[in-house]
Amino acid sequence: MIRGRRKDVEPTVLLGVTSVAGSRVALFLVLVPLLLAGSLLMGPSGIGLPDLDSPVGAAILNLRFSRMVMGMLVGSALSVSGVVFQAILRNPLAEPYVLGVSGGAGLGAAVAILFGAVAAVPLSLPVSAFISAVLTLVLVYWMASRGSGGAPSVYSLILSGVIVSAICSSVIMFLVSTASAEGLHNVIWWMLGNLQPVALEQRVLAAVLIGLGFMVTWMLAMRFNALTLGREMAHYQGMNADLVIFAGLLAATLMAATAVSIGGMIGFVGLIVPHVTRAMFGPDHRLLVPLSAVAGGVFLVLCDAFARTVFAPVEMPVGVITALVGGPFFLLILQRKMKHAWVA
């Protein structure tokens, strides 16, 4: 029996817990600032810094920087949210919108746009999207727990989420079908998602909410590892599994709803970035949570840089680019690395 610690051997190294992806993580973290800087240089008029001495040039750089911050916020929120949903629901198809966040937020936004609140009251669009997203989660969670008497099972959560989402989409479709052409355009444009900077206070508030969700998620990272072994095993290992599940779902939904409220429903990031991060760096959530936050943010910033430059002066919705550009790239990675992420 080993009573004391062996001084000459670091137990962490011995166990290979953190040494697995060490060099890769370092490489990745070096790449990140370079990629972000690159996205700042990209503009409709070509690659390079705008003339900073002129007020217009300064404003342009400021705008690009704001969009970069938006992209980092929204991208991190969505991909961390995806990590949490995939861990708690133990399902590779889970994504931030799986529990009806998109349906709820979309319905809230559609109502706000079509009934004129957006024009009349400032901030009404993000606020109504956020509130209806959180309300949807509450509804889904309540529906799922009713049947199982207590904490809901994973399957009833997924099913309730799918059903509530479907109902929300139907209502949105109904509202859109009866709307004017302008209202229709606004709703669709919002639902496709874009990263046009919102007001500063709004960005700060979003950063606070997303930061809060991220902190909760990171603190629970080790517990998410245990949860992937199932709720029962997690309970045996000395955690309040139901509480962790609830807190995790709440934090993930908070992040997703905040992201949706400022950036609209940008798809693909929350589903695929967690997978790719897991394939590259392994499924240990203590690493996976922060790394997928960075990866999601950088990915969305790059996609946005493409969206606003490739077809300039026309700007593409960034949600189109994420899947169109990111899809093939990620498919290549997953093909080679999938066995490091999910069990075959």
Partner 1 sequence: MRGKLVTRDSSHVNGNMEIAYEGGVRVVALDIEHVTAGYAGHEVLRGMTMQVQQGEFVVLIGPNGCGKSTLLKTASGLLRPSAGCVRLFGRDVSGLKPGERARLLGVVPQKVESPMAYTVAEIVMNGRTGASMPWQGLKDEDYVIMERAMIYTNVLSLADRYFTELSGGEQQRVILAMVLAQEPQMIMLDESISHLDINHRYEVLRILRRMNREHGLTVVLVSHDLTLSSEIADRMILMHEGVVRASGLAHEVLCADILSRVYDCELLVQHDALTGTVNVSGVLDGTGPGGQVSRSVHVVAGGGTGIELYRRLGVYGFRVTTGVLNRMDSDAEAARALGIEAVLDLPFSAISTEAAAAASRLACQADVVVLAPVPFGSGNLVNLDILRSALQCGKEVWIADGVAERDYTEGKAAAAVAAELVVAGARLWSSAHELLLELRKSEK
> Whose Cβ is closer to partner 1: residue 197's or residue 211's?
211
- Going by C-alpha positions, the residue among 40, 51, 19, 45 that lies closest to residue 313 is 45
Cα–Cα distance, 344 to 288 (Å, whole number): 19
Query: Could you say whether residue 341 binds partner 1 (CB under 8 A)?
Result: yes
CA 300 to the chain's CA centroid: 10
HSE toward the beta carbon, residue 320, CA cutoff 13 A: 12
Among 32, 117, 228, 250, indicate the residue that binds partner 1 (CB under 8 A).
Answer: 228
220 binds partner 1 (CB under 8 A): yes
- CB closer to partner 1, 201 vs 232: 232
Nearer to partner 1, 241 or 257 (CB): 241
Q: Which is nearer to partner 1, 6 or 314 (CB)?
A: 6
93 makes contact with partner 1 (CB under 8 A): no
Amino acid symbol at 247:
A
Does 232 bind partner 1 (CB under 8 A)? Our answer is: yes
Name the minimum Å distance from CB 339 to partner 1. 6
Residue 238 touches partner 1, criterion: CB under 8 A? yes
Per-position x/- string for 149-168, each x denoting binding to partner 1 as judged by CB under 8 A, each - no binding? x-------------------
Choosing from 233, 311, 327, 331, the residue that interacts with partner 1 (CB under 8 A) is 233
- Tokens 């990272």, residue located: 221
Distance separating alpha carbons of residues 82 and 74, to the nearest angstrom:
12
Q: Are 77 and 256 in contact (CB under 8 A)?
A: yes
Sequence-distant (6+) residues with CB within 8 A of 198 are: 70, 126, 206, 262
Minimum CB separation from partner 1 for residue 119, in Å? 44
Amino acid at 126: P
**With binding defined as CB under 8 A, does residue 92 bind partner 1?**
yes
In this structure, what token pair is assigned to residue 281? 């760096």
Supply the minimum distance, in Å, between the C-beta of residue 333 and partner 1: 15
Report the C-alpha gap between 26 and 22 in whole angstroms: 6
Please give the C-alpha separations between residue 108 and each of 78, 122, 123, 177, 191, in angstroms, as whole numbers.
19, 15, 13, 16, 11
Q: 199: Cβ–Cβ under 8 A, 6 or more apart, which residues?
A: 123
CB of 147 to partner 1, least distance (A): 10
**Residue 285 or 308: which CB sits closer to partner 1?**
285
Q: For residues 298 and 168, what is the distance between their CA atoms, to the nearest angstrom? A: 31
Tell me the closest approach of the beta carbon of residue 203 to partner 1, in angstroms. Answer: 27
Tell me: does residue 339 bind partner 1 (CB under 8 A). yes
**Total interface residues for partner 1 by CB under 8 A:** 43
Q: Which of 37, 229, 331, 332 binds partner 1 (CB under 8 A)?
A: 229
Q: Is 219 in the site for partner 1 (CB under 8 A)?
A: yes
- 40: tokens are 């700042």
What is the rounded CA–CA span in Å between residue 209 and residue 203?
10
User: For residues 140 and 153, what is the distance between their CA atoms, to the nearest angstrom?
Assistant: 12
Write each residue from 256 to 285 as x if it is in contact with partner 1 (CB under 8 A), else as -, in one continuous string: ----------------------x---xxx-
In the bound complex, what is the minimum distance in angstroms from residue 113's beta carbon to partner 1?
39
- Half-sphere exposure (Cβ direction) of 205: Cα atoms closer than 13 Å: 13
- Residue 89 carries which side chain, given as an amino acid letter? L
In the list 27, 58, 240, 331, the residue contacting partner 1 (rule: CB under 8 A) is 240
211: which 2 tokens? 């930061």
Smallest distance from partner 1 to CB 270, Å:
17
Nearest CB to partner 1, comparing residues 2 and 314:
2
- Residue 65 within binding range of partner 1, rule CB under 8 A: no
Residues lying near partner 1 in the complex (CB under 8 A) are found at 1-2, 5, 11-12, 14-17, 20, 90-92, 149, 219-220, 222-223, 225-226, 228-230, 232-240, 278, 282-284, 286, 339-344
